[in-house]
Structure 1
Amino acid sequence: MFILNASEPKELATYLQKQQWLGAEETILSLTKPGEGNMNYVLRVDTGTRTFILKQSRAYVEKYPQVAAPEKRVITEGAFYEKISSKKTVQHYMPNLIGIDVENNVIALEDLSKANDFTVLYDLKYQLKPEELIQLIAYLNGLHASFQKIIIDNELANLELRKLNHEHIFHYPFLGDNGFDLNTVQEGLQELALPYKKDVRLKQQISVLGALYLSRGKYLLHGDFYPGSWLKTADGIKIIDPEFCYYGSREFDLGILTAHLYLTQQDATLHSIVVTEYEDYPELNLDIMDGFTGVEIMRRLIGLAQLPLKMDLKTKKQLLKFARTLILK
Structure 2
Amino acid sequence: MIILKSEKSALQAYLKTKGWLKPNEIVTAIEVPGKGNMNFTLRIKTRNRSFIIKQSRGYVEKYPQVPAPEERVLREAEFYNLTGLHDHLRKQMPEVYGIDIENHVLQLEDLGTGTDYSFLYEKNNFLAETELRPIIEFTAYLHRSINTKTTATRLANRPMRQLNHEHIFVYPYLEENGLNLDTVLMGLHEVGQRFKNDLALKKVIAELGKRYLSDGASLLHGDYFPGSWLRTDHGFKVIDPEFGFFGDPEFEIGVTLAHLKMAAQTNDLIQKAISIYKEIAPLDVILCEQFIAVEILRRILGLAQLPLALNLEERMKLLEEAHSILV
Tell me what 2:127 maps to: 128
Per the alignment, residue 2 of structure 1 pairs with 2
State the match for 1:186 in structure 2.
185
**Which residue of structure 1 aligns with residue 22 of structure 2?**
23
CA contact 1:290–1:326 (8 Å) conserved in 2: yes
Note the C-alpha offset of 1:11. 2.3
Tell which deviates more after alignment, 153-162 or 127-136: 153-162
1:282 & 1:5 partners in 2: Cα distance?
A: 43
Say whether 1:76 aligns with 2:75.
yes
TM-fit CA distance, 1:281? 7.2
Shift of 1:178: 1.1
* Unpaired segments ≥5 residues, structure 2: none
How far off its partner does 1:167 sit?
A: 0.4
The 3-state SS of whatever aligns with 1:299 is: helix
- 2:81 and 2:159 map into 1 onto residues whose CA distance is 20
User: Which residue of 2 is the match for residue 239 of structure 1?
Assistant: 238
In the alignment, does 2:202 pair up with 1:206? no
Q: Give runs of aligned pairs for residues 125-274 of structure 1, distance below 5 A.
A: 125-150=124-149, 155-274=154-273
TM-score, normalised to structure 1, is: 0.96
Question: SS at 1:90's partner residue?
Answer: helix
1:291-329 superposed Cα distances (whole Å, 9 cap, x missing partner): 11001001110100000111110111101000112223x
Deviation at 1:283, TM superposition (A): 3.2
Structure 1 68/153 Cα, relative in aligned 2: closer, same or farther at 3 Å? farther
What secondary structure is seen at the aligned counterpart in 1 of 2:82? helix
State the match for 1:322 in structure 2: 321
Distance in 1 (alpha carbons) for counterparts of 2:283 and 2:275:
13
Q: 1:152–1:218: 8 Å Cα contact kept in structure 2?
A: no
Taking structure 2 as the reference length, the TM-score comes to: 0.97
Q: Secondary structure at the match of 2:231?
A: strand
Q: Is the 8 A contact 2:144 2:280 kept in 1?
A: no
How far apart, CA to CA, are the structure 2 residues paired with 1:241 and 1:169? 18
The more displaced of 177-186 and 9-18 is 9-18
Aligned residue pairs total 327
User: Counterparts of 2:109 and 2:278 in 1: how far apart (Å)?
Assistant: 29
| Distance of 1:295 and 1:152 partners within structure 2 | 30
Amino acid paired to 2:80: Y
Alpha-carbon spacing, 1:95–1:151, altered in 2? closer, same or farther (3 Å): closer
Q: C-alpha offsets along residues 125-175 of structure 1, whole Å, 9 cap, x if unaligned?
A: 200110111001110122111101139978221101110110000010011
Aligned partner letter, 2:85 = S
CA deviation string 1:226-267 (max 9, x = no partner): 000011011111110001000011101100111011101101
Relative distance call for 1:139 and 1:186 in structure 2 (3 A) is same
Residue in structure 1 matched with residue 291 of structure 2 by the alignment: 292
List alignment gaps of at least 5 residues for structure 1: none
Contact 2:155 2:244 in 1 (8 A): yes
Measured after TM superposition, the shift of residue 282 of structure 1 is 7.7
Q: Is the 8 A contact 2:33 2:113 kept in 1?
A: no
Pairing of 1:274-313 with structure 2 (within 5 A): 274-279=273-278, 283-313=282-312
1:52 paired residue number: 51
Q: What percentage of residue pairs aligned between the two structures are identical?
A: 43
Within 5 Å, give how 1:105-124 maps onto structure 2: 105-124=104-123
Q: Residues 150 and 242 (structure 1 numbering): CA distance in 2 closer, same or farther, change over 3 Å? A: same
> Partner of 2:30: helix, strand, or coil?
strand
8 Å contact 1:293–1:326 — kept in the other structure?
no
Structure 2 counterpart SS, 1:139 = helix
* Contact 1:275-1:281 at 8 Å conserved across structures: no
1:95-110 counterparts in 2 under 5 A? 95-110=94-109
Distance in 2 between residues matched to 1:151 and 1:52, nearest whole Å? 32
Question: 3-state DSSP class of the match of 1:276?
Answer: helix
Contact 1:252 1:289 in 2 (8 A): yes
Once structures 1 and 2 are overlaid, which stretch shifts more, 146-155 or 317-326? 146-155
Which range moves more in the overlay, 151-160 or 194-203?
151-160
User: CA shift at 1:270, angstroms?
Assistant: 1.0
Contact 2:148 2:217 survives alignment (8 Å): yes
| Post-superposition offset of 1:14 | 2.2
